[in-house]
Chains A and B, each alone.
Chain A
């Protein structure tokens, strides 16, 4: 057990190092497109890791996580939009600090309000109520003609964080990857703090936690807000990467994809979301080049992972290691 745990830490480290080196190496060897794929993958992994905090640690299956990606992206896109075409002086700015601050505040507020309501429910009801709130954001964004309604908005500049240039693909990848490491570390620490232990205990047996005089609601709400903030931050990065924002980012199937990435990778492991998003994005890209019917092998793969492995890809790898 001891040895296998060491081995998996080593494997995780190797994976992260490869992820840091490969895209940059490809970029400088002239294959400039691949860094785009990896940037998207890493941003989704950040959002996925925040979902892991809810799904894996706290046992709260949020099906509306894409709402935060959207809110974070609009918090970057809208100030830049006004700074480019004029209007709304109090909001307009190219300043990245201001935009990311907005992204975090808006996400935190949305998480606080919807979390306070959603956390009254459990299980499937929680899945559905979180989805309901994100659908409301979706329809609200679709009706905002000011921001292009469903056509979306081109983001005409990147967030300014001198001396870093977010419009330089390598800088952007560096920021995203650094953020991923930071988020992984933070979630890891949270999980092993008293806070994380209360969440996990409440997931196993709520009555016992209540009996010990601790109200899990407050802990869950805090986890919900933290996860929302991280996903909102990922959304702000996404706006800088895609240079385009649209309500499509919030639509329920995006939340679904995010959740599927986490489950595919392994919802009970910190690196599950990263493994899941890597597999999801890379397979999607590779398979879709091969055939327009790529959803068929992709769907079969998802099915097989569930039927023959428990705990996603990481669960399968661990099982293989032990036997």
Chain B
């Protein structure tokens, strides 16, 4: 017992002696590096590393060090990782966060320490609205924006009746509500399926209902592995010919290679709404996508794009402040300008520090080399701001 206690003490002191170079700018990056969701986290980490390559590991004349932490897909672990970055490593800024619940759990820790937190994915309504904070920034989107764009896209495509499916959790409900807000036709039915640790991946019952509903189209939100599972079953059920599929955050550069591997041709031509697509024609994006494909041999996902932007956003503030991050108010003043070349082209931050940006319709296509990717077909929203900005008192 005593030995154990001694060992415990020894390990304690050992682990706290790791200290970084004084002069570097330290960025903490929290994402998912374990469990199956690590495929998203790895994509984000790869993008961050690419961004570091592109800026020669320097911001505002100082070397940059990024500390990656794993949230294990769990709010409690994510919060602990965030606390560690803030209290022990004393990083200058925290970024990352795929999941709303991990962001919500970690949010307050960062704000209490008066540091800036940048979400490279999660965009829950609470943080966009009532709980908005000057120290929070997003390089992604607010949850409702993408589905609202999808509703508008459905109107433009002349879809009169729709079947909706999403997982039964906060973001899933946001997506459904977002589509309903802008879609003008009839909702023939909707299903919120079981999510969480034992998430439902077999959608046979729901697909049978959708088919029986006679809707003209089906719109779904299934992030991660559920997305691939849904699309396979959609095709296996023979719905591809009768009920066109519209998606949100379901078909991306992570799922497309696997769908291609499984020969799910039913997905080709299907449309989705998104703020970005890999072929977008602006220099920053061309450099990012070409660099990413060269370094990693695959297309970047939107998660990667958002993470790349997060690093460049931080760099813009560091450059303006000559690498001096000692004043948080100065940092956020510079960040709020969004003065960098974003992969999505020009955008600005709203009062709640969520991007005001364009949303596009993009379609699944085969590129010149035979890889499946996406391509923009139409601009759905220009300079769109989320609806919660009005309830943010900033």
Contact = CB atoms under 8 A, between A and B. Distances in A.
A and B touch in the complex (CB under 8 A): yes
Contacts of A85: 130
A172 to B, nearest CB: 13
B169 A150 contact: yes
A317 interface: yes
B70 A151 contact: no
Nearest to A314: B1
A12 B170 CA distance: 45
Contacts of B88: 31-34
Interface stretch (A194-202, A224-232, A248-256): A248-256
A36 B79 CA distance: 11
Nearest to A23: B12
A252 to B, nearest CB: 7
Interface stretch (A50-58, A113-121, A141-149, A210-218): A141-149
A160 B231 CA distance: 51
Contact of B1 (A32, A34, A249, A317): A317
A69 to B, nearest CB: 11
Interface stretch (A96-104, A179-187, A288-296, A299-307): A288-296
A151 B126 contact: yes
Interface residues of A, number: 50
Given A36-B87, A292-B33, A152 B101 contact: yes
B333 interface: no
Contacts of B100: 151
Interface in A255-294: 275, 278-279, 282, 285-286, 288-289, 292
Contacts of A8: 1
Given A251-B196, A253-B197, A22 B9 contact: yes
Interface residues of B, number: 42
Nearest to A8: B1
Interface in A29-69: 31-34, 36-37, 40
Interface in B47-63: none
Given A12-B1, A244-B79, A288-B70, A148 B108 contact: no
B16 to A, nearest CB: 5
Given A151-B101, A278-B8, A282-B11, A34 B16 contact: yes
Given A248-B74, A251-B196, 4 more contacts: A148-B104, A150-B101, A151-B171, A282-B11
Interface of B: 1-2, 4-5, 8-9, 11-12, 15-16, 33-34, 38, 70, 74-76, 79-80, 83-84, 87-88, 100-101, 104-105, 107-109, 124, 126, 130-131, 168-171, 173, 195-197
15 contacts: A11-B2, A14-B1, A14-B2, A15-B1, A26-B12, A148-B104, A150-B101, A151-B100, A242-B79, A251-B196, A253-B197, A278-B8, A282-B12, A292-B34, A295-B34
Interface of A: 8, 11-12, 14-15, 18, 22, 26, 31-34, 36-37, 40, 85, 138, 142-143, 145, 148-154, 242-244, 246-249, 251-253, 275, 278-279, 282, 285-286, 288-289, 292, 295, 313-314, 317
